Amino acid sequence: MDRWPQALKLSRELTTAQAQALLNGETRKAFDAASLALTQLIALNEAGASQASQQGAALYARACSLSWLDWCS
């Protein structure tokens, strides 16, 4: 599905409209699908990071409350 060499060839032959049509068709759909997947992965990563941060803060608070040392202040 590597259309870049074909689009580059068309562009160099000054058939720019054909090159743009090639890149805006099937290639654009693939780009949009990859972009959507990456956006979803970023959202999942951010949610996981937030949850891990909250769990870490709760664990730290719990450890401080159980500690007889005053190292949490």
User: What are the pLDDT digits (tens) for 21-30?
Assistant: 877 888 888 8
18, 34 contact by CB (below 8 A): no
Q: Give the 3-state secondary structure percentages of the chain, helix then strand then coil, rounded to 5.
A: 80, 0, 20
Residue 72 in domain: no
Residue 59 in domain: yes
Asked whether residue 37 carries a pLDDT value surpassing 90, the answer given is yes
39, 24 contact by CB (below 8 A): no
Number of domains in the chain: 1
Domain that holds residue 43: 4-66
Cα separation, 62 vs 73, in Å, equals 13
Helix or strand or coil: residue 14? coil
Residue 11 in domain: yes
Residue 73 in domain: no
* Mean pLDDT of the residues in the chain: 85
Under the banding of pLDDT at 50, 70 and 90, the label for residue 43 is very high
Residue 48 in domain: yes
**Torsional sign, CA 54, 62, 67, 73:** positive
